[in-house]
A and B are shown apart, each in its own frame.
Chain A
Amino acid sequence: MSAPAPLLEVADLATYFDSKRGVLKAVDGISFTLKRGEVMGLVGESGSGKSVTGFSVIGLIDPPGRIAAGSVKLDGEELVGKDAEALRTLRGRRVAMVFQDPMMTLNPVLSIGTQMRLVLRAHEDVSRADARRRSIEALARVGIPDAARRLDDFPHQFSGGMRQRVAIAIALLHRPALIIADEPTTALDVSIQAQILAEMRNLVRESGTAMIWISHDLATVSSIADSIAVMYAGRIVESGPAHEVLGAPRHPYTKGLLESIPGEAPPGSVLAQIPGAMPSLLALPAGCAFRARCTYAQDACAAMPALAASPQGHAVRCHFPLEGMR
C-alpha cells in the first residue's frame, strides 16, 4: 500500500473579481490539503474569502470572478481549467455543497421529492420509483421522521432545522467524497445548531466523507474540525491541527478571534474585540494585511510574512508569532 494521496490538494489558489474600481483579490494564493474523511474548519470574518474558496473548489465562480492562478486537485485530478460540463458532472456527485440558509436554497415551489429527483437525475439515469426510494433513504439517514410521507411536502412545510437536514440529505444523495458546508448552521437556532452539527459530524464519520466547514464561528468549528485554517483578507494566516490552532494560537488574529468568544470569558465581563475592520480587498496594504489592527505590529510587518510551518504542521503567517500557550 502506498501512502494515501490527499483527497483534495489546493495550491496557490487565487480567485480575483474584476470590478470597475480594480481587481478584487478575494482569494490570494491559498494552499491546503485535505485527507479522506478529514474535517477542516475554514474560519474567518465576512469578506475574508472563505466562501469564495469553497466556490472556487467546485468551479462555481461566475464572471466577473475568475480563478487567476493556482491549482485544485481532487484525487490527483486537476480541476482548474476543466470545461464547464466536466465540472458539472463532478459537482453534486463527488463534491457537494450545503449552504447557509435552507429557506433560500431550496426551491419553494418544487416539492422536496422533485428537487431530490432532479439532483439524482443530474448524474444518473434513475427511474421515478428508484429516485423516490433513494430520496426516502437519504431523508431517513439525516433523521427526518416519516420520510416517505414528507417527500411530497414543500420546503415551507418544514421547520428551519428540518429544512437544513433536507439540504444535507440532498448533498449526500450521491455519497460525495467531499462536502463543502458554507456556514450551514448560521441561520439556525442555537439548539438546532448543536443538533445539526452533531448530525453532520456523525454522517461524515460514518461515510468517510471529508468536509470543509466554512464558518465565522470558532466555537462550532472547534467541535467538528480535525484541522483549522484561519483566513484573513484572502490569505490563510494560520493553519494546523484543530487542537494546536485553538489551544495555542500563534497568529495575533487567531488569538483575537478566540478571545472574542463568550465561553472563555468570565460572565459579565466585557468581551475582547479586535479593533478596526478588515481592509478593502481592492486596496490591500503591502505586507501583512492585519498589521493595522495588530497590537504587535512593527516596521518589519510592512513586508509580507511567509507561511511558516512547525514540524507538527502548525503554520503561521506572521513575523512575530506568539509563543504557544495562552
Chain B
Amino acid sequence: MVGFVIQRLLQAGLVMAAMSVLVFVGVYAVGNPIDVLLSPNVDQITRLETIAAYGLDRPLWEQYLLFAGRLIHGDFGRSFIFGVPVLDLIFSRLPATLELTLAAVIAATLLGVPLGMYAGYRPDSTASRVIMGVSILGFSVPTFWVGLLLIFVFGVELQVLPAGQRGETATLFGIEWSFLTGNGLRHMLLPALNLSLFKLAMMIRLARAGTREVMFGDTVKFARAAGLRERTVLGRHVLKLIAIPIVTVFGLEFGSTLAFAVVTETIFSWPGVGKLIIDSIATLDRPVMVAYLVLVAFLFITINLVVDLTYAALDPRLRRGGAR
C-alpha cells in the first residue's frame, strides 16, 4: 500500500511538471499583459523597463526555467495586478470555495444516494417517478439560470435569504469560514443549492442504476432468503455494492467544482477562487493563472489518489495480496 502511494505521488510530480509547461506556454500565447498593465500613453522607456522588470523580455524557455526554479522552492511568483505573492492570493480565496463546494457535494450525495436508491428499489412508484423527473431537470436546466431564478425568488421577491457575499465569518485554524456562523450559513445556502442541483441529479441516477442492477442479483436474493429486513438489505448490502461509482463521481465532482465553480461564484458574488481565475484571465495576470492551473492539476491528482485508496477500503478484492 505504501509503495502504491509513493508510486502515485511520483506520477503526480510528473503530471504537474507537464502541466506547468502546458499552462505556461498556453498562457504565454493568450496575450501581452503589458498592454493591460500600462496605459497606452506611457513612454517607450518606462514600457521597456516594466517589461524587463517582469522578465518578459527573455525568451520563453528562459522565462519557464526561471518560473520552474522558483516553483521548486514553493514560490509561484507575484501577481502582476495585486503585487502580492500568488499563493497568498489563492489561499485567501480557497476556503470560501472549499466550504461552498464541500457543502454542495456532500448535500448532493447525502440526499441523492438515498433518493436514487429508493427510485431503484421501487422503480414504479409515483415517488420514484417524481425523483427521476427532478433529476432530469437537474441535468438539463443550466446552472446560471437556476442561480438567477434562486436569487429572484428567495433574494428579491421573498427576501428570505441573502443573495450575495459570504456574510459573517468565524475563524478556525486561522482561516475565515462562513459555515461557522448562522449568518454565513444563510449566505451559503443559495449558492450551495445552486451548485448541488446538477450533482444531486447525477447521484440520483448513479444510485438508481446501481440499485436496480444489484436488486436483481443473487446477493440480494440470498440475503432476503436469510430473512434480512429490507432496510438491512438496502443499508448494508446494496449501499456497499453500489458505493464505488458513487465515490468516483464524488471525487471528480468535488475536484471539478472546486476548480470551476466560476459561474455560481460570479452570480452570487462569492469571493472564491473561481472568481479569482476569471478576473486574472481578464487582466492577463499570468502568475495567478499559471499557479492556479498547476494547483488544480495537483488537486485532481490528490483527489484521484484518495478515491483509489477509498476503493481499496470499500472493496477487499482490490487490496493487494488479498487472494489466498
Say whether B237 contacts A110, CB under 8 Å: yes
- A195 in contact (CB, < 8 A): no
Alpha-carbon separation in the docked complex, A180 to B104 (Å): 48
Q: Which residues of A contact B323 (CB under 8 A)?
A: 156-157
User: B219–A118 contact, CB under 8 A?
Assistant: no
Known A89-B227, A104-B217, A109-B315: A97·B222 in contact at CB below 8 Å: yes
B225 sits at the interface (CB 8 A): yes
Asked if A119 meets B227 with Cβ closer than 8 Å, knowing A99-B222, A105-B222, A109-B240, the reply is yes
Contacting pair A109 B218 (CB below 8 A): no
Contacts of B224 in A (CB 8 A): 60, 88, 91
User: CA separation between A70 and B324, bound complex, in Å?
Assistant: 48
Determine if B316 and A156 form an interchain contact, defined as CB atoms under 8 angstroms apart.
Answer: yes
Q: Which residue of B lies closest to A121 (CB)?
A: B232
**Interface flags, A95-133, vs B, CB<8A=1, else 0:** 011011100111111110010001101110000000000
Given contacts A109-B241, A109-B315, contact A119 B226 (CB under 8 A): yes
Cβ < 8 Å to A, chain B residues 215-265? 217-219, 221-229, 232, 236-237, 240-241, 243
Q: Which residues on the B side are within 8 Å of A118 (C-beta)?
A: 223, 226, 228, 232, 236-237
Give Cα distance in the complex from A97 to B236, angstroms: 20
Smallest CB gap from A92: residue in B: B227
Question: Is A248 an interface residue when CB atoms closer than 8 A count as contact?
Answer: no
Determine which of A58, A97, A105, A119 lies in contact with B219 in the assembled complex, contact meaning CB atoms within 8 Å. A105
Whether, in the assembled complex, B83 has its beta carbon less than 8 Å from a beta carbon of chain A, the answer is no
Contact partners of B219 in chain A: CB under 8 A: 104-107
Any chain A CB within 8 A of the CB of B314?
A: yes
- Please tell me which one of the listed residues A89, A96, A99, A123 contacts residue B221 in the complex, with CB atoms under 8 A apart: A99
Given A108-B317, A109-B316, A157-B322, A96 contacting B226 (CB threshold 8 A)? yes
The answer on a CB contact under 8 Å between A104 and B322 is no
Main secondary structure of the interface of B (DSSP, over half): helix
**Given the complex, which residues of A lie within 8 Å of B243, measured CB to CB?**
109
Q: Which residue of B lies closest to A89 (CB)?
A: B227
Tell me, yes or no, whether A171 is within 8 Å of chain B by CB: yes
Q: How far, in angstroms, from A105 to B315 measured CA to CA in the complex? A: 16
In the docked arrangement, what's the CA distance between A60 and B215, Å?
13
Q: Does A251 contact B (CB under 8 A)?
A: no
Residue of A nearest to B232 (CB): A118
Interface flags for A154-170 (1: CB within 8 Å of B; 0: not) read 10110000000001001
Contact residues on A (Cβ < 8 Å of other chain), bracket: 35 or more
Interface size range on B against A? 20 to 34
- Count how many pairs of residues, one from A and one from B, have CB atoms less than 8 Å apart in the complex: 93
Residues of B within 8 A of A167 (CB): 222
* Chain B residues near A104 (CB-CB < 8 A): 217-219
A110 touches B236 (CB 8 A): yes
Shortest distance from the beta carbon of A136 to any chain B beta carbon, whole Å: 18
**By the criterion CB–CB under 8 Å, are B236 and A92 in contact?**
no
For A103, the closest partner residue in chain B by CB is B218
CB distance from A121 to the nearest CB of B (A): 8
Q: Please, which residues of chain A bring their CB within 8 A of the CB of B317?
A: 108-109, 154, 156
Taking a contact as CB atoms under 8 Å apart, the answer to whether B227 and A122 are in contact is yes
A312 to B1, CA, bound (A): 67
Which residue on chain A has the smallest CB distance to residue B216? Answer: A62
**Is A90 on the interface with B (CB-CB < 8 A)?**
yes
Looking at the assembled complex, report how far the CB atom of A176 sits from the nearest CB atom of chain B, in whole angstroms: 10
Q: Which residues of A contact B232 (CB under 8 A)?
A: 118, 121-122
Nearest residue, chain A, Cβ from B240: A109
Chain B 196-228, CB within 8 Å of chain A: the 1/0 string?
000000000000000000000111011111111
B226 & A107 in contact (Cβ 8 Å cutoff)? no
Please state if A96 and B225 are interface contacts (CB–CB under 8 Å): yes
Residues of A within 8 A of B322 (CB): 154, 156-157
A107 to B221, CA, bound (A): 11
Complexed CA–CA distance, A34 and B225 (Å)? 20
Q: Indicate if the CB atoms of B240 and A92 lie closer than 8 Å.
A: no
Whether, in the assembled complex, A50 has its beta carbon less than 8 Å from a beta carbon of chain B, the answer is no
- In contact, A97 and B241 (Cβ under 8 angstroms): no
Chain A residues, Cβ within 8 Å of B227:
88-93, 119, 122-123
Q: How far is it, in angstroms, between the C-alpha of A110 and the C-alpha of B324 when the chains are bound?
A: 17
Give the nearest-CB partner of A85 in chain B.
Answer: B229
Q: How far is the CB of B196 from chain A (nearest CB, A)?
A: 27
Task: Please state if B226 and A171 are interface contacts (CB–CB under 8 Å).
Answer: yes
A123 to B229, CA, bound (A): 9
Contact, CB under 8 Å: A107 / B223:
yes
Contacting residues, chain A, for B316 (C-beta < 8 A): 108-109, 111, 154, 156-157
Asked whether A107 and B225 contact (CB < 8 A) given A101-B218, A154-B316, A154-B322, the answer is no
Contact A92 B225 (CB under 8 A): yes
Complex Cα–Cα for A114 and B316 (A): 13
Contacts of A154 in B (CB 8 A): 316-317, 322
Q: How far is the CB of B283 from chain A (nearest CB, A)?
A: 50
A123: which B residues are within 8 A, CB to CB? 227
Please measure, in the bound complex, the distance between the C-alpha atom of A174 and the C-alpha atom of B30, giving whole angstroms. Answer: 72
A90 and B224 CA atoms in complex are apart in Å by 11
Beyond contacts A100-B218, A118-B232: 18 other A-B pairs, Cβ-Cβ < 8 A, are A58-B225, A92-B228, A96-B225, A99-B218, A101-B218, A105-B218, A105-B221, A106-B219, A118-B228, A118-B237, A119-B227, A121-B232, A153-B324, A154-B322, A156-B322, A156-B323, A157-B324, A171-B226
| B positions within 8 Å CB-CB of A | 217-219, 221-229, 232, 236-237, 240-241, 243, 314-317, 322-324
A interface residues, Cβ below 8 angstroms from B: 58, 60, 88-93, 96-97, 99-101, 104-111, 114, 118-119, 121-123, 153-154, 156-157, 167, 170-171, 173
- Can you name 12 A-B residue pairings with CB atoms under 8 Å? A91-B227, A96-B225, A96-B226, A105-B221, A107-B237, A108-B241, A108-B315, A110-B240, A111-B316, A122-B228, A156-B322, A157-B324
